[in-house]
Amino acid sequence: MQNLIPIAALNQYAYCPHRCWRMFCAGDFVDNQYTLEGTGLHDRVHTLSSGHREETWQVRAIWLKSETYGLVGKADLIEAQNGQLYPVEYKRGHTGDFDNDALQVCAQALCLEEMTGQPVTQGYVYYAQTHQRQPVAIAQDLRQRAIAAIQAIQTLFRTGQMPPAVYTPRCRGCSLYDRCLPQAAKKVNRYRES
């Protein structure tokens, strides 16, 4: 049986493969303001419970798993309306320019489909900063990108080979900046290539 990968690793890999390697292969993690706010938010929503809110059935902090895709992870919230199940992922910030949150929701949807035998066509990301739910269509292209990310992470976990630390605008908000120093690495490499 293949090793299961954490659903949250998809989010980290899509954000930065080097960060994913540091967190899940090297066990290297430090908090910053953003990660602490995110942990606080998840602590508040990660209390296992279920019930109805008007016409919507809800279950919080439930484990999801897929043998087909080799995934496991805890969902913040699963809801059902009119017989249709869908995941809701909580994030501290606001809608970003990247698809890392959508990939995480898609991975939850893949698990939910396997566990229930029902298609999941929609998910949401709830952004605490704006108090808004951003719909995520579980469309074919998103599924394909999620599956490609799962395969890349499986290779990363199997080989343990460190992806390069490449400086991007995302580095500015990254809690691991002081560990990998991507700009310093860039300068050193530029010097070596000159």
Q: Interface residues with ligand SF4 (CB under 6 A)?
A: 16, 18-19, 22, 165-166, 170-171, 174, 176-177, 180, 182
Instruction: Closer to ligand SF4 by CB, 76 or 101: give it.
Output: 101
Instruction: Closer to ligand SF4 by CB, 13 or 69: give it.
Output: 13
Which run of H or of E encompasses 109?
helix 100-116
Instruction: Closer to ligand SF4 by CB, 18 or 91: give it.
Output: 18
Least distance (Å) from ligand SF4 to the CB of residue 175?
Answer: 8
CB atoms within 10 A of CB 186: 14
Least distance (Å) from ligand SF4 to the CB of residue 170?
Answer: 5
CB 96 within 8 A of CB 132: no
Least distance (Å) from ligand SF4 to the CB of residue 11?
Answer: 12
Distance between terminal CA atoms of the chain?
48
Least distance (Å) from ligand SF4 to the CB of residue 85?
Answer: 33
Instruction: Closer to ligand SF4 by CB, 22 or 60: give it.
Output: 22
Q: What is the DSSP letter of 170?
A: G
Instruction: Closer to ligand SF4 by CB, 19 or 60: give it.
Output: 19
Instruction: Closer to ligand SF4 by CB, 153 or 180: give it.
Output: 180
Using CA atoms, how far residue 22 sits from 18, 29, 52, 55, 81, in Å, is 6, 7, 40, 43, 39
- Rounded Cα–Cα distance for residues 94 and 106 (Å): 18
- Report which of 147, 83, 88 is spatially closest to residue 116, judged by C-alpha positions: 83
Which run of H or of E encompasses 14?
helix 7-15
130: its two tokens:
């704006």
Least distance (Å) from ligand SF4 to the CB of residue 54?
Answer: 41
Least distance (Å) from ligand SF4 to the CB of residue 73?
Answer: 21
